Amino acid sequence: MVIIMKPEFTGKQLENAIRAMEEGGVKVMISKGAETTILGAEGDSSRLDEERLTQLEGVERVMRVSEPYKKANRKYHPDDSVIDIGGGVQVGGGALTVIAGPCSVESEGQIVGVAQAVKASGAAALRGGAYKPRTSPYAFQGKGMEGIRLLLEAKAATGLPIVTELMSSDQIPMFEECVDVVQIGARNMQNFDLLKKVGRMKKPVLLKRGLSSTIEEWLMSAEYIMSEGNNQVILCERGIRTFENFTRNTLDLSAVLAVKTLSHLPVVVDPSHACGKAWMVEGMAMAAVAAGADGLIIEVHNDPANALCDGAQSITPGQFSALMAKLHPMAQCVGKTL
Amino acid sequence: MVIIMKPEFTGKQLENAIRAMEEGGVKVMISKGAETTILGAEGDSSRLDEERLTQLEGVERVMRVSEPYKKANRKYHPDDSVIDIGGGVQVGGGALTVIAGPCSVESEGQIVGVAQAVKASGAAALRGGAYKPRTSPYAFQGKGMEGIRLLLEAKAATGLPIVTELMSSDQIPMFEECVDVVQIGARNMQNFDLLKKVGRMKKPVLLKRGLSSTIEEWLMSAEYIMSEGNNQVILCERGIRTFENFTRNTLDLSAVLAVKTLSHLPVVVDPSHACGKAWMVEGMAMAAVAAGADGLIIEVHNDPANALCDGAQSITPGQFSALMAKLHPMAQCVGKTL
Amino acid sequence: MVIIMKPEFTGKQLENAIRAMEEGGVKVMISKGAETTILGAEGDSSRLDEERLTQLEGVERVMRVSEPYKKANRKYHPDDSVIDIGGGVQVGGGALTVIAGPCSVESEGQIVGVAQAVKASGAAALRGGAYKPRTSPYAFQGKGMEGIRLLLEAKAATGLPIVTELMSSDQIPMFEECVDVVQIGARNMQNFDLLKKVGRMKKPVLLKRGLSSTIEEWLMSAEYIMSEGNNQVILCERGIRTFENFTRNTLDLSAVLAVKTLSHLPVVVDPSHACGKAWMVEGMAMAAVAAGADGLIIEVHNDPANALCDGAQSITPGQFSALMAKLHPMAQCVGKTL
Amino acid sequence: MVIIMKPEFTGKQLENAIRAMEEGGVKVMISKGAETTILGAEGDSSRLDEERLTQLEGVERVMRVSEPYKKANRKYHPDDSVIDIGGGVQVGGGALTVIAGPCSVESEGQIVGVAQAVKASGAAALRGGAYKPRTSPYAFQGKGMEGIRLLLEAKAATGLPIVTELMSSDQIPMFEECVDVVQIGARNMQNFDLLKKVGRMKKPVLLKRGLSSTIEEWLMSAEYIMSEGNNQVILCERGIRTFENFTRNTLDLSAVLAVKTLSHLPVVVDPSHACGKAWMVEGMAMAAVAAGADGLIIEVHNDPANALCDGAQSITPGQFSALMAKLHPMAQCVGKTL
C-alpha cells in the first residue's frame, strides 16, 4: 500500500496517516520531496483498509500494490489446484473436464436419458437444476427435492458425479449428502452469507462469476469460501452483462487467462448461458478450450423446444456428440487431456 | 404476446406454435399474409413463456406486449402506494422521506449521537448496518446482533424507525421483532430464496436495485416479494455499474421516472452509495428530489475519517443539516412535503 | 507520477526507470524500503507517458497523481469560464441557458415556427440539425447547406443564436461564417482530426460526451480543442451507454458535478437524447438543473409524430412552454438565473 | 415490420398507422382481435422508419423482423466474401491471415526490421500506424507522411501489403496511392462522413468495431461504406468497453460467430488492443482462431519497453514467432489454412 499526500498537507495529517498505517500492522517508509510526499507500507498490508486510508484528510491518493485475496492467490500457491469431484473425475491439472446436462431436471426419463447420452459422448459429470433462480416468480422454479432424487437416479445409472445449484442454506445438509459439486449461481456470487456457509461444507464448489462482477470481486468471493476452510473451489466464467444484446451475455474469455494467472484455482466456461443461443455453443466451447479453460459446462436437452427452461441455449445429445468429436483435437492442440 | 413465423415455416410448426400458446391459456388470433404469418394472443398471457416460444421451430421472433409483473404494475393499481414504516412516518404519497445514518453501527455513542443529530435536522428514519455485505471476508462484517441492539437504543432515544439490512434468512424472526424496515441490499436483489421469505414477513421492505439489474428485473424482484403477500415494498435506486469509474456507481435518475410510471411503488434514492464521494451527495440528493424521488437514504457519520465502513461517502451531521436546509425549498419546488 | 518497483527489480531496471522519468523532464525522488522501492516525480510530469513507464521491466505499478488535462483543468483556472455565444447570450457564470429546437431542420415553416415558439417561452438559443449522423445510410441525412440557410432565416426572424452539428471538416469555412455554436456530436467526440480543426475556429464549441467516454476522456477531447487555441468549449452530457435499455442512454448527472469540480468549463445537459422518450424530458431537465447544470439543450418539434428524426424524444412547443414555467422556480432554488 | 396497436386506439390512429406503413412502400395486413390489433408489412420494408412508427399515436410497440443492413447481409449474399489485399494475400475463404507490426511506425530500422521478422514467421501483411488517434493531444501523434514513406520502404523490402489507419479525409488521395488496406479505427467507426468517403475508395477497408458499438451498428457502418460502392470491407473485433478493467477492453469473441452468421464479410481479431497486455495476446489469438476468425492483427515491436505507443500490449518478434508456431496446428484444427 502506498499513500501520496496532497501538496498542502499538514503535519498533523501526516501523523494521522502514518498512525493509520501503523495500526494496520505495517512499518511506514516516508519519502518527502519538494512537492510530493509518499508513504509506503513495509510488511503484511492485508489488514490495511484502502478505502479508509483514502478518506483521511491530507491524503491525495492510495494505491494498493498487492491483491486483496490470499488463499486464492497464485503468489502463495504457485501450483495449479486440482479438484476431485468424485467418480474418479478431476478438474484442473491438465484435464479438460466436460460437464453436461439439462438446465432443469424435468423427469426421470429426461435426466437419465440425457445422462446416458452425454456419458456415451465423453462427459465427465452431469449438470441439472433442481432449484432454479428465475427472474419471474411465476416461471417454473425447479422440481426441488424431487429433482435431486432424479439426479441421484441418473448418477446411479451412469456413475457420473452430479453438479447442481444451491440457492438456500436450508438445503445444505441435504446437498452435503446427495450432491457431488455444489453450484453457486451468478446471482448469488455476492450472497456472502451463503458463501460462508458453503465454505464450511466438505464438497467442491462451482462458483459462477456474477453478472457484472469484476475478476477481483469473483476471486474475493472464492476467498470467502476458502477463508472458511473449503479450498475446493472451481471458478466458472459464464458471460458478463454489457450493452450488447445480440448474445444473452458477453463471454469474457480473457477472464480465463486472467484467473489462471492470478489464481491457482481451475476455471471452467459455460458457453450456453453466456451466449443464450444453441448455435453459438460449439464455437464458443472451442474458443474457451483454446483460451486455456480447464473444462466446460454445457446445457444438453433431449428436446430443447419443449424444455421447461433455457431451451434456446440447449443443444441436443446429437449436437453434443458432434461437439465432443471436435473438442478432442482441440484439447490435444492445447495440451489438455479430454 | 405476438409470434412472427419464419418465412419458410411448415404447417406442423404452425400447429405446434398455436398449441404452445393455447396451453398457456390464451386464444390465438392467426394472421396469414403472403410473406408474414403472425400469431397474436388474446386473454391473459402472463403464463406464456416468452423464452420457450422463441425456441419453437419455425418461429422467427416473439414480442411481449405486456409487462411480466402484475402486483407491482401501475396498470392494475393506478394509485401510488404509500408505505407506513412506523413512528407516524410514510413513504410515498406526496411526502419526501429522508432516511439517514451511518453505514455501520459502531458503538452506542456513535449511533445514538448520529440519530439525535439527524432527527434534529429533520430525518424521518434512521439507517445503520448491523450485518454488512463486504467484498472481502477480511473486512469488518458488522456488529451483528449487538448492532441491532444499539439501533433499538437509538430508536428508544429518538423515536426514529430503523432501517437495516437483512443478509440471511436465519435473522428473519429477530428482524420481524426488532426492525421497522428490512433492507435487501443490491447484491441480494436476485437472491430469490431470501426474497420469497421476506415476502412472508409483515414488515416494509426497502429493495435496492442490483448493481447491474435492469428496471424490469428490479420490478420482478419486487414482484417476488409481493407474490408472497407482502405489498409493502419501497424501491431504492443506488446507482448501476458502468464503465465510468470516477464515481463508485452511476446514479440512474431516469430510473426514478421510469419506475414511478411503470409501478405504483414508492422509490427512494441513495446518493451516497451511488457516488461514493461525500462531496457529491448534496448535488445528487437535490437532483433526485427534482426527478421525483419519494425519499432519500443518506449516509451520515459523526467522524467519517474514522468510520469502519464507507467513510469516503459519508457526510457529517453538520453537512446533513445544511443539506436538509436546501432540500426544503427543493421539495416545495416539486410539490413534495418534507 | 509515482512508480512502484517490483520486489525483485535489478539495479539496471531501476536505472532505466529513473532515466525514463528524467527524460520526461522531472527530478526523481527515490525511496528504498526493505520490500518496496518507490520513485516519485518532482516537477511538471505532463510529458511523462504513464503507459510507457508501466511497461518498463522491473516496474510493478505506475500511479498518476495529477490530471492529464491542463487548459480544461480547474486547478490552473479556478474561476468558471463563461462562454459568449452571441445575441447577448452567455453560457456559464450563474446563467441557466436553454437551447431548444428540432432534431432536424425540415422546412422554413417548421424551423421558423419552432424558433418563434421556443423564443416566446424563454429559450436563449436555437438548435437544429442540418447535417445528421444517422446509424443507417438509408435514413434521412439532413438537409445540409439548405438546412443551414433555413437556420439563418430562423435566426433572422428571432435573433436567437444557432447551434448546429459539424460532421465534416469540409464545412468548417461555412460554419465559421454562418453558425454561432459548433456542435461536435457524441460519435465524433474522439474524431481527433476534427477536434484539432475545430480548435482553430473562432466559434464556441458544444462538445457532447461520447457514448461510452469516461469523464477524463471527455475532458481530454476538450483539451484537444483548447490546445489549438479555442478556449470556448461548452461540455454537453447526453447520456452514456449501459446495459439498461428502457432509456435510449443512461443520463449521468453525477458527471455534471464531476466536470464542474474538475474543470472550469460550463456544462449543459441534453435530456432528450439521454432518455429517448418525450415524457421523461421534463423530469430529467428539472433534475439536471438541480444537479448544477449551466444549461439545457432540448428537442422541440411542432409535430413530433411526423418528425423526420427523433420524434419519439421531441416535446411540443406547448410542452416546452410548460417546462420553462417549471424551470423558473427550479433555477431560483439553485441560485441560477433563467 | 409489425405494429401492435394500443388497446384503446382510435379509428383515426389506425388509419394513420396504416398510411405511414403504406407510404414506406409496403402492403399492410391487418389482424383485429378482441384485445389486440396487429399490422404486418408485406413487401420490402427497408424504407420503413421503425423509430417514426413507434411514436405514432395509438401505437403500442413496433417490431422489426428483418435486419436493417442489406449489402452486408448474408441473406442476400450467402457466400463468404473474400477480400484481396494485394501481394497475393486474401482475407476470408478458408485462409487464416495474420497481419502484424508495431502500433506506430517509429524509424526505418524499426519498421523494416519488424516487417522482415514477422514475414519470416509467416505474417501475410504489415500493420503500422502513421497517423495515431491518441486520447491526449500531448501524446505522440504519429509520424504522418513520413510514416507512410517508411511503411512503403518496409513493403519494398518484404513484399508485405501494408495496413494503416486513416484519420482524416484529407489523406484519402495519398492513401489511395500508397496504402493496401485502409484501417478505420474504433473511435471513427461512426464518423459517417469518413465512412462515406472511404466508400468511394478502391481499396479494402479494415473496419474496427467501435468501443461500445453493438454488432448491428458495426454492420451498419460497413453498410455505409458498401452503400457507396466499396464492397471490400474486412471487419475487425478489438474488444468492447465494459465495467471490467483488468483488461483494456473485453474481447467479444461471440461477435465473431455472430457476424460470420449475419454477414458474408470476413472478420479478423485484434487481441493486442482488446487485452492491452502482451502476455494475454497468445491465449486470445488462439481462442480467436478457434472461434472462427478469418485472421488476426497483432502488435509486434522490436523493443516494446521503448515503444512510443502501446508497448504494454506489443509482443516481440521472438514471441510472435512462437505464437505462429502454435497457430499452425490450431488453424488446422478448425480447417483453416495459415
- Subunit partners of chain B (3 or more CB pairs within 8 A): A, C, D
**Residue C110 three-state SS:** helix
Confidence of residue B45 (pLDDT cuts 50, 70, 90): confident
- Interval C127-144 mean pLDDT: 94
Of D214, D216, D254, the CB nearest to A275: D254
Q: A292 touching C, CB under 8 A? A: no
- Subunit partners of chain A (3 or more CB pairs within 8 A): B, C, D
Neighbours of D22 (CB within 10 A): 12
Q: What percent of chain D has pLDDT over 70?
A: 100
Q: D51 touching C, CB under 8 A? A: yes
d(CA B152, CA B144): 13
User: Using a CB-CB distance cutoff of 8 angstroms, which residues of chain B are in contact with residue C287?
Assistant: 253, 287-288, 290-291
Question: For strand C205-208 and strand C181-184, is the pairing parallel, antiparallel, or unpaired?
Answer: parallel
Q: D1 touching A, CB under 8 A? A: no
Q: Which of B245, B246, B277 to mutate to test the interface with C (most CBs of C within 10 A)?
A: B246
Instruction: Give A165→chain C minimum CA distance, Å.
Output: 26
Q: How many interface pairs between A and C have CB atoms less than 8 angstroms apart? A: 66
pLDDT over 90 at C147, yes or no: yes
Q: What percent of chain A has pLDDT over 70?
A: 100
What does the mean pLDDT of chain C come to?
A: 94
Q: D115 touching C, CB under 8 A? A: no
The side-by-side arrangement of strands in the sheet containing B59-63 is B27-32, B37-42, B2-5, B59-63
pLDDT over 80 at C51, yes or no: no
- Residue C160: what pLDDT? 98
pLDDT over 90 at A52, yes or no: no
For D71, which residue in chain C has the nearest alpha carbon? Answer: C137
pTM for the model stands at 0.95
Of C55, C68, C192, the CB nearest to D305: C55
Q: D152 touching B, CB under 8 A? A: no
pLDDT over 90 at C164, yes or no: yes
User: Using a CB-CB distance cutoff of 8 angstroms, which residues of chain D are in contact with residue B250?
Assistant: none
Instruction: Give A41→chain B minimum CA distance, Å.
Output: 18
- Interval A309-331 mean pLDDT: 94
Give CA separation, C91 vs C72, C125, C139, C237, in Å.
Answer: 16, 11, 33, 15
Within the 122-151 window of chain A, which residues sit less than 8 Å (CB to CB) from chain B?
133-140
- pLDDT tens digits, C181-200: 999 999 999 999 999 999 99
For D30, which residue in chain B has the nearest alpha carbon? Answer: B31
Instruction: Give B249→chain C minimum CA distance, Å.
Output: 10
User: Using a CB-CB distance cutoff of 8 angstroms, which residues of chain B are in contact with residue C244?
Assistant: 214-215, 240, 252, 255
CB contact under 8 A, C310 and D191: no
- Interval A55-83 mean pLDDT: 90
- Residue D336: what pLDDT? 97
Instruction: Give B232→chain C minimum CA distance, Å.
Output: 25
Residues 6+ apart with CB under 8 A from D51: C310, C311, C312
- Residue A172: what pLDDT? 98
- Residue B277: what pLDDT? 92
- Residue B55: what pLDDT? 79
- pLDDT tens digits, D197-213: 999 999 999 999 999 99
Pick the more confident residue, C292 or D43: C292
Q: A250 touching B, CB under 8 A? A: no
CB contact under 8 A, C254 and B251: yes
Q: A258 touching D, CB under 8 A? A: yes
Instruction: Give B316→chain A minimum CA distance, Å.
Output: 13
CB C296 within 8 A of CB C98: yes
- Residue D36: what pLDDT? 83
CB contact under 8 A, D253 and A256: no
Q: Which residue has the cell 426514478?
A: B256
Q: D43 touching B, CB under 8 A? A: yes
Neighbours of D118 (CB within 10 A): 28
Backbone phi and psi for residue B146, each to the nearest 5 degrees, phi listed first: -60, -35
pLDDT over 80 at D51, yes or no: no
- Interval D146-151 mean pLDDT: 98
d(CA D128, CA C139): 35
- pLDDT tens digits, D4-48: 998 889 999 999 999 989 988 889 989 888 778 899 888 877 778
User: Using a CB-CB distance cutoff of 8 angstroms, which residues of chain B are in contact with residue A304?
Assistant: 55
For A191, which residue in chain B has the nearest alpha carbon? Answer: B188
What does the mean pLDDT of chain D come to?
A: 94
pLDDT over 90 at A80, yes or no: yes
Q: A308 touching B, CB under 8 A? A: yes
Q: What percent of chain C has pLDDT over 70?
A: 100
- pLDDT tens digits, C243-289: 999 999 999 999 999 999 999 999 999 999 999 999 999 999 999 99
- Residue D73: what pLDDT? 96
- Residue A217: what pLDDT? 97
- pLDDT tens digits, D168-181: 999 999 999 999 99
- Residue B66: what pLDDT? 80
CB B70 within 8 A of CB B107: no
Displacement of CA D293 from its chain's centroid (Å):
12
CB contact under 8 A, B290 and C292: no
CB C309 within 8 A of CB C104: yes
Within the 186-225 window of chain A, which residues sit less than 8 Å (CB to CB) from chain C?
212
- Residue A139: what pLDDT? 87
CB C241 within 8 A of CB C211: yes
- Residue A15: what pLDDT? 93
Q: C258 touching A, CB under 8 A? A: no
- Interval C37-64 mean pLDDT: 84
Instruction: Give C217→chain D minimum CA distance, Å.
Output: 7
- Interval D307-322 mean pLDDT: 90
For B211, which residue in chain D has the nearest alpha carbon? Answer: D243
- Residue C57: what pLDDT? 86
Q: Which of D3, D35, D245 to mutate to test the interface with B (most CBs of B within 10 A)?
A: D35
- Residue C170: what pLDDT? 96
CB contact under 8 A, C310 and D57: no
Please give the biggest Cα pair distance in chain C.
Answer: 77
- pLDDT tens digits, B182-201: 999 999 999 999 999 999 99
Q: What grid cell was written down for C78? A: 479556478
d(CA A302, CA A324): 16
pLDDT over 90 at C8, yes or no: no
pLDDT over 80 at C46, yes or no: no
- Read off the DSSP letter of residue A182: E
- Residue A36: what pLDDT? 83
- Subunit partners of chain C (3 or more CB pairs within 8 A): A, B, D
Q: How many interface pairs between A and B have CB atoms less than 8 angstroms apart? A: 108
Q: Which of A235, A244, A247 to mutate to test the interface with D (most CBs of D within 10 A)?
A: A244
- Residue C50: what pLDDT? 80
Confidence of residue B36 (pLDDT cuts 50, 70, 90): confident
Instruction: Give A64→chain C minimum CA distance, Å.
Output: 9
Pick from C304, C298, C276, C277: which is nearest to C286 by CA?
C298
Confidence of residue C334 (pLDDT cuts 50, 70, 90): very high
Of D57, D192, D309, the CB nearest to C305: D57
User: Using a CB-CB distance cutoff of 8 angstroms, which residues of chain D are in contact with residue A214?
Assistant: 243-246
Give burial (CB, 10 Å; 0-12/13-18/19+) of B236. Answer: buried
User: Using a CB-CB distance cutoff of 8 angstroms, which residues of chain C are in contact with residue D47?
Assistant: 138
CB contact under 8 A, C253 and B251: yes
pLDDT over 80 at A229, yes or no: yes
CB contact under 8 A, C40 and A36: yes
- Interval A280-287 mean pLDDT: 98
Of A4, A65, A245, the CB nearest to C65: A4
d(CA A175, CA D63): 45
Name residue B208's beta-bridge partners: B236
Q: B40 touching D, CB under 8 A? A: yes
- Residue A51: what pLDDT? 76
User: Using a CB-CB distance cutoff of 8 angstroms, which residues of chain D are in contact with residue C138?
Assistant: 46-47, 68, 227
ipTM of the prediction? 0.94
Instruction: Give A255→chain C minimum CA distance, Å.
Output: 20
Concatenated DSSP letters of A26-88: -EEEEEE-SS-EEEEEES--TT--HHHHHTSTTEEEEE--S-S-STTBGGG--SPP-EEEETT
CB contact under 8 A, C51 and D304: no
Q: What percent of chain A has pLDDT over 90?
A: 80
User: Using a CB-CB distance cutoff of 8 angstroms, which residues of chain A are in contact with residue C2?
Assistant: 2, 4, 36, 38, 63
Residue D252 sits at the vertex; the CA angle it makes with D250 and D254, to the nearest 5 degrees, is 155
Q: What percent of chain C has pLDDT over 90?
A: 80
